[in-house]
């Protein structure tokens, strides 16, 4: 069984500041990890994914995440926040590379607020 915990339902940062969204996972098998973003009134869009290749994963819009097995973490970062980054961010885990037929297990999401 897998689970995901996202620390902080809301994170507020100033424009230009570092963004750090935390995700910890639990998995009985080697995990595949994803970050999705949801803008208002839109579907979930994949930001990046970890599928057992490089532990530092780069995604779209300047985001990256590092897989740390010892810490069971997959935190999402961006060096400099932009107003357009304001959205809901979801971390998800699966036992299969694309989620397979088992579906993704999501965290509760973190609402990122960007202060001007």
Partner 1 sequence: EPEVTQTPSHQVTQMGQEVILRCVPISNHLYFYWYRQILGQKVEFLVSFYNNEISEKSEIFDDQFSVERPDGSNFTLKIRSTKLEDSAMYFCASSPERIYEQFFGPGTRLTVL
Site track 33-52 with partner 1 (rule: CB under 8 A), x = hit: -x-x----xxxxxx--x-x-
Q: Between 35 and 81, whose beta carbon lies closer to partner 1?
A: 35
Cα gap 42→33, rounded to integer Å: 21
Cα gap 47→33, rounded to integer Å: 11
Q: Name 27's Cβ contacts closer than 8 Å, sequence gap at least 6.
A: 2, 93, 95
Q: Between 81 and 92, whose beta carbon lies closer to partner 1?
A: 92
Backbone angles phi, psi at 54, to 5 degrees: -65, 140
What's the gap between Cα 81 and its chain centre?
15
How big is the site for partner 1, counted in residues (CB under 8 A)?
A: 26
Q: Which of 33, 87, 93, 104 binds partner 1 (CB under 8 A)?
A: 104
CB of 16 to partner 1, least distance (A): 30
Q: Between 7 and 46, whose beta carbon lies closer to partner 1?
A: 46
- Please, which residues bridge with residue 106 across strands? 92
Q: Which residues bind partner 1 (CB under 8 A)?
A: 34, 36, 41-46, 49, 51, 90, 92, 96-109
């Amino acid at each position: 069984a897998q689970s995901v915990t996202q620390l902080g339902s809301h994170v507020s940062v100033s424009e230009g500041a570092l963004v750090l969204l935390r995700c910890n996972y639990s998995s009985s098998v080697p995990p595949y990890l994803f970050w999705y973003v949801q803008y208002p009134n839109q579907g979930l869009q994949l930001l990046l994914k970890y599928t057992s290749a490089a532990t530092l994963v780069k995604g779209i819009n300047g985001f990256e995440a590092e897989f740390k097995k010892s810490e069971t973490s997959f935190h999402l970062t961006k060096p400099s926040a932009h107003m357009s980054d304001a959205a809901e961010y979801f971390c998800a885990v699966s036992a299969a590379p694309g989620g397979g037929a088992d579906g993704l297990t999501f965290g509760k999401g973190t609402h990122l607020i960007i202060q001007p």
